Amino acid sequence: MFKLESQSFGLDISDLSLKIIKLEKDGEGLKLSSFGETRIPSGIIKGGEIKDIENLAKIIKKGLKQVKGKRIRTKYVISSLPEEKSFLDILQIPVMNEEEIENAVRFEAENYIPLKLDDVYFDFEKIQPISKQKKYQEILIAATPKHIVDPYFKALEQAGLRPIALEIESLAIVRSLIKKNTSTGPLLIIDFGETRTSFIIFFGKSLRFTSTIPISSQALTENISKNLKISYEKAEKLKKKEGLEGKKEIFEAIIPPLTDLAEQIKTCLKYYRSHAPKDQTLTDKRKLERILLCGGGANLKGLVGFLSSTLKVKVELSNPWINILKETVKEVPELSFEKSLAYTSALGLALRNYD
Ligand SMILES: Nc1ncnc2c1ncn2[C@@H]1O[C@H](COP(=O)(O)OP(=O)(O)OP(=O)(O)O)[C@@H](O)[C@H]1O
Ligand SMILES: [Mg+2]
C-alpha cells in the first residue's frame, strides 16, 4: 500500500476547471513533478454537483495527457470534494479509549449533520489539543452526501483512475497553507475562486469553521463586461491588468461585489468572535487578526490593501508551498507565485501523500 500511495497525485475538480499536481521526493524534501490546468465547459459541474459524468471523465483523461513536467503514469489519485456540499464540524466528547470513540462520535454526529448518517459518507479524526486539557476531547467530523460523492468516484474510474482518497477541499487548502498544521493564533483563510468564495477559520491544529458564499472572481469580470459593454474575454484581461489600482471605470465596476465580500468577511469574523469563547479549549481568547488569501482571485491588484483597510485586520497572500519548499521560496520556475495561488487545493491534495 505504501508503495502505491507514494505514487499518487492531487486532482482538484472545480466547476470550471481541473488542476493536477504531482510531487516527488527530492532528497529530504519534495519538489514539483507534474502540473496542469484544464477548463471544464459550464454545465458539467454546477455548485460542486456533477451533472455529466461521461464528459467529465473525458476531460480528466485529456487533462492527464496535457500535464507539464513528467508524464503521469500512476492511476492513484487524491481528489477533491466540494466544500459547499459538505459538512465539517467539531464535536466535544468525554475522554475515552479508541474503541469507544467511534460509537460516541457516530451517536453525537447525528445531532450535528443535517442529513441521515446513512445518506452521507462520514469520517472523523481526533484533534490534537493545543493546550493541556483533561475533561474532553475534540473530534473533527466531515460528511458529504453520497449522491454528491458517488458521481466523483464514477467519473474518476471512467477516466481510468483509482481514487485512494476523496477529500473536502478546505482540508486540502489547510494542509497546503498552514505551516506544520499549527497556528498559535486564529486565522481566516479566504479562497477567492472563479465561481465561489470559501471561508476557513483555523486555530491550533485544526480548522474550526468553514462556509461558502456565492461571491466570485467571475462576477468581477461579468461586471466589467456589462459596464464597459465589452466581451467577457476582454473584460477578463482588463480585470487582471488593472484590478483596483488601474482605470477608474474598472474600479467602479468591481468595487460593489468586493464591498459585499468585505461585509461577508465581517459577518464571518463576528460569528467567530461570538462563538470562540464558548469553545472551551480555546482558553486564550485571542482575537482573529490575520487573514490569508488564496485562489486565483486573490491575485487581483489592490485586493490585499482594500480588504486590510476596510476590515482593519492584517491581510496577506498565502504561501501554498510552505510545507513543500523552503519557507522563503514561494514559487518554482514552472509555476509562478500568482499561478500557485490557484493551485492551493491541488498542492494540498498532492501533499496528503506525504502526511
Ligand atoms: N491576476 C489576476 N487578477 C485578478 N483575478 C485573477 C488573476 N489571476 C487569476 N484570476 C482569477 O482567478 C479565478 C480563478 O481562480 P481559481 O483557479 O482559484 O478558481 P477555481 O478553483 O477554478 O474555481 P472555484 O474555486 O470557484 O471553483 C478566475 O476568475 C481568474 O479571473
Ligand atoms: Mg478553487
One pLDDT digit (tens) per residue for the chain, 355 residues? 344 446 899 999 999 999 999 999 998 889 999 999 999 999 999 999 999 999 999 999 999 999 999 999 999 999 999 999 999 999 999 988 888 999 999 999 988 898 999 999 999 999 988 777 667 899 999 999 999 999 999 999 999 999 999 999 999 999 999 999 999 899 999 999 999 999 999 999 999 999 999 999 999 999 999 999 999 999 999 999 999 999 999 999 999 999 999 999 999 999 888 876 555 455 455 678 899 999 999 999 999 999 999 999 999 999 999 999 988 889 999 999 999 999 999 999 999 999 8
SS3 322: coil
Strand partners of residue 152: none
CB–CB of 38/66 below 8 Å?
yes
| Residues 264, 228: Cα–Cα separation, whole Å | 27
Question: Nearest-CA neighbor of 252 among 242, 262, 261?
Answer: 242
* CA 336 – ligand 1 centroid, Å: 14
SS3 3: helix
Strand partners of residue 32: 23
CB–CB of 176/323 below 8 Å?
yes
The CATH-assigned architecture of domain 2-86+145-223+238-354 is 2-Layer Sandwich (3.30)
In this structure, which ligand is nearest to the CA of 222?
1
In this structure, which ligand is nearest to the CA of 342?
1
CB–CB of 13/152 below 8 Å?
yes
Helical residues (DSSP H) of 67-145, grouped into ranges: 98-112
Domain ranges in the chain are 2-86+145-223+238-354
What pLDDT, on the 0 to 100 scale, is given for residue 279? Answer: 53
| Residues 188, 205: Cα–Cα separation, whole Å | 14
Distances (CA, A) of 27 to 24, 31, 220, 324: 10, 9, 43, 12
The pocket around ligand 1, CB under 6 angstroms, is made up of 14-17, 193-196, 216-218, 236, 239-240, 243, 295-297, 299-300, 338, 342
| Residues 60, 82: Cα–Cα separation, whole Å | 17
Strands 120-126 and 68-69: unpaired
What pLDDT, on the 0 to 100 scale, is given for residue 131? Answer: 72
Kindly report the backbone phi and psi dihedral angles of residue 70, in degrees, each rounded to the nearest multiple of 5, phi listed first.
-75, 145
| Residues 306, 301: Cα–Cα separation, whole Å | 10
Distances (CA, A) of 72 to 154, 345, 347: 20, 19, 15
From 194, 198, 236, 239, the mutation candidate for ligand 1 (largest count of ligand atoms within 8 A of CB) is 194
What pLDDT, on the 0 to 100 scale, is given for residue 286? Answer: 63
Intra-chain end-to-end CA distance of the chain, in Å: 14
C-alpha grid cell, residue 52: 455529466
Distances (CA, A) of 241 to 44, 215, 246, 303, 316: 29, 20, 8, 13, 20
C-alpha grid cell, residue 212: 461558502
- Which ligand 1 atom sits nearest the alpha carbon of residue 297? 12
